[in-house]
Structure 1
Amino acid sequence: MNKEQLLISNDRLPTPADAHWVLIRNDNNIVGRCSLWWENTPPYFNHRLGLIGHYTVEDAAAAARILQHACEQLAAFGCTMVVAPVDGNTWQSYRLLTERGEQPTFFLEPHNPDDWHCHFLDRGFTALAHYTSALNTNLTYIDSRLERVAARLEDAGVQIRSLNLQRMEEELHRIYTVAIASFQGNFLYTPVKEEEFIAQYLPLLPYLKSELILIAEHDGNPVGFLFAIPDWLQAQRGETINTIIIKTVAILPKRIYAGLGNLLVAKCQAIAHQLGYSRAIHALMHDANPSRNLSRRYAQTIRGYTLFAKQLI
């Protein structure tokens, strides 16, 4: 007969949490783990949110036990709603892959077994937000309306250049304020310190191509940026890397910069085409994000992801 126990874990995980728990079966086998956050979580209507992240389980039985325990713990600390999976905040890994599609996993994409979403549904969670990734196989596509946008921004003095990888940390320091201002209206946003923002990108340095990371500047100051990266998982599968992944587009929320995000995407795809790439993945877009409006015109949805929630009180 299986014996199970839940223990507080001292594991050193990449994101600090208010608690780490592991589920141990038959005295020494770890069959599940999660981290919990109840302090400094993002606002959501009148709720006090608790977060479950670093979630991993071996089977449905372990999932039921660990999710029940997580909800009980968060309720005991005054949370009225739990959201999962979120590794502390939306700057870190979050969302569950729920609609796999036929395309293989791409670099830096959330990945989990197909049945994990059932773990949350079986414990009374429901979908809180939905995200998609889309594939563009025509990098030469140009929306004619962007010609007017480009002309207007050029007349205003906005210039676009590639990131200098030799000065990576300095470049990240300069675009940090753009990221903070651009993302503060995002779903479940929480602020992040500059050193955390920089630390998130520096480990990716060996995988970057400067031509695929664009910075828009106005009067010498950054006002927008686009971060794209080759799909290195193609190389691991023995394939030629023919795909870029557009991960992040951030623009200062001022009227003068309207359309700049779409222009950066178009320029990045044109550059990728010149470099010999033939595909671009628009990654992890919230369904309510304006970027979905442009992407729908020429990119096909290939994947779906879900963020789950459960009301505790």
Structure 2
Amino acid sequence: MNPCQLHLSERPGEERSDARIHLTDASGATVAAAALWWTDTPALDGNPIGTIGNFEARDATAAKSLLDHAAGILRERGCHTAIGPMNGNTWRRHRFVVWSNGRGSFLLEPRNPPEHPGWWAKAGFSILSRYSSSVMPLDGSEVLPPAVKARLAKSGVTVRNLDASRYEDELRLIHAISLKSFSSNFLYTPLEEDAFLHAYLKVQTHVDPDLVRIAERDGKPCGFVFGIPDLEAAGRGEQPALIVKTLAVDPESHCAGLGSLLVDELHRIGREKGYTEAIHALQHESNTSLKITGRHHGEVLRRYALFSRPL
């Protein structure tokens, strides 16, 4: 068998990748490819990392060869760990599906051939972090005790929907809350406001303002929950679930119970709009929002993992 040939391009690529690599066989056909990032990537234990994303491969042998080459390139660029699949940072596409209950994919969910995680493991990668998505019926139940709800209201907390006539301004306040809420998250990097606006302006026509709930205390934003319909399920002719995409609370607001209040509110609105299920999507294994999911008796429908390899 003739060895594959490595091709490396270090021109800036899609999603600001630092390089693109691919392997070709003797006929010139691509057998594996990936993009690499080592600039402006997250840190792990205070050390720089490189990430591998947009991965594809024909078989396990091609995958291992490509990943070995990728690890070598990232090591030469000063990275201590290779992490993937990740397109540069956690704001972009990352994670492999590693288990499923068989339910169809939902909107914005990562997807991959089932053999990919095993191919990465054979190339020396191991699981760095785990995530899950859970589904639950919208049966009208609320998990926030009435006394806590009353305390939040007495402290000046109100919840409203997104004002579609001020969509861009609303995105700016959602971005500001996100930066504060997620700053201690695993592999966190800040996202520039312009990049955040660009991503959400593209999907404006699909955003239902009633499914974006914004909490304020005395007129100052202090949290939000962003819900979207599962348009992918609708496209398959199925009843779409309500996807709870993002939940964020400003830690400086000191509003204990606000996350539960926002989720209860979104579930209530969703049920009024005819949704019968909610999906709490892509939650990190250490995320405190998993407690809310548990109180709503969520059942895991998918598990995901991020992989790493020391360099």
TM-score, normalised to structure 2, is 0.94
Consecutive unaligned residues of structure 2, counting only runs of 5 or more, are none
Aligned-partner Cα distance in 2 for 1:138–1:244: 9
Cα distance in 1 for partners of 2:2, 2:225 equals 51
**Which residue of the partner structure matches residue 251 of structure 2?**
253
Matched residue pairs, number?
310
1:205 is matched with which residue?
Answer: 204
Question: SS of the counterpart of 2:44?
Answer: coil
C-alpha displacement at 1:12, in angstroms? 7.8
**CA–CA separation in structure 2 for the residues paired with 1:174 and 1:8:** 41
Q: Is the 8 A contact 2:144 2:257 kept in 1?
A: no
Please name the residue that 1:114 is paired with.
114
Q: Residue 285 of structure 1: which of 262, 283, 286 is its match?
A: 283
Rounded to whole Å, the distance in 2 between the matches of 1:217 and 1:25 is 58
CA distance in 2, matches of 1:237, 1:25: 37
5 Å-filtered alignment, 1:135-150, equals 135-145=135-145, 147-150=146-149
Change (3 A) 1:73 1:144: closer
Decide whether the 8 Å contact of 2:222 with 2:253 is kept in 1.
no
Q: Which amino acid aligns with 1:158?
A: V
The alpha carbon displacement at 1:256 in A equals: 2.6
Identity %, equivalent residues = 37
CA distance, structure 1, for counterparts of residue 309 and residue 3 of structure 2: 28
What's the C-alpha RMSD, in Å, of the aligned pairs?
Answer: 1.8
Aligned to 2:298: 299
* Distance in 2 of aligned mates of 1:103 and 1:139: 20
Give, in whole Å, the separation in 1 of the partners of 2:27 and 2:162. Answer: 51
Alignment of 1:146-165 (within 5 A): 147-165=146-164
8 Å contact 1:3–1:27 — kept in the other structure?
no
Tell me, what secondary structure is at the counterpart of 2:107? coil
SS in 2 for 1:254: helix
Letter aligned with residue 230 of structure 1: P
Q: TM-score, length-normalised on structure 1? A: 0.94
Contact 1:139 1:272 (8 Å CA) reproduced: no
Match of 1:222 in 2: 221
Using the alignment, how far apart are the partners of 2:205 and 2:284 within structure 1? 28
The DSSP-based 3-state class of the residue aligned with 1:113 is coil
How far off its partner does 1:89 sit?
Answer: 0.6
User: Which segments of structure 1 move beyond 4 Å, counting only runs of 4 or more?
Assistant: 9-13
Query: Is contact 1:9–1:22 with CA below 8 Å preserved after alignment?
Result: no
Structure 1 residues 10 and 79 mapped into 2: Cα distance closer, same or farther (>3 Å)?
closer
Superposed counterparts of 1:66-105, under 5 Å: 66-105=66-105
CA distance in 1, matches of 2:14, 2:74: 21
CA pair 46-185 structure 1, distance change in 2 beyond 3 A: closer
- Number of the residue aligned with 2:175: 176
CA–CA distance in 2 between the matches of 1:51 and 1:149?
42
Per-residue deviation, residues 20-75 of structure 1 (Å, max 9, x unmatched): 11222344423322111222222211432111112122322221121011001011
